[in-house]
A = this chain, B = another copy of it.
């Protein structure tokens, strides 16, 4: 197959998947597939495919309870993207501004 970082980047490169992931993150709880798909215009099967891709990237965990499958966001794989990015930070403009903003958020 492909390496982890590629799998993760491909998962978040699709706008619908980013929306699904975001919805699950802000929900801050596990949601069954039907409930997720009710928030989108595409079919439940379309959503299911996206959920599988997200699961493959580790960005969601799916837990079966009875006939329902609860999906919960897991942001941890994004740490790998962050790590990949970090190297290039020295090559983009305004890195110092980013640091001060970063520190402002912490105080």
Residues of A whose CB lies within 8 Å of any CB of B are 2-3, 6, 9-10, 12-15, 25, 73, 75-76, 78-79, 81-82, 85, 88-89, 91-94, 98-99, 102, 106
A73 to B91, CA, bound (A): 9
Q: Give the dominant DSSP class at A's interface.
A: helix
Provide the bound-state CA to CA distance between A46 and B9, in Å.
Answer: 21
Query: 7 tightest A-B contacts by CB?
Result: A75-B91, A9-B13, A75-B92, A13-B13, A75-B88, A10-B13, A76-B92
Extra contacts, 12 of them, besides A78-B92, A79-B92 (Cβ < 8 A), are: A3-B15, A6-B14, A6-B15, A9-B9, A9-B12, A75-B89, A76-B93, A78-B85, A78-B89, A79-B94, A81-B85, A82-B89
Q: What B residues does A79 contact at CB under 8 A? A: 92-94, 98
Return chain B residues, CB-CB under 8 Å to A94: 79
CA distance A65 to B96 in the complex (A): 34
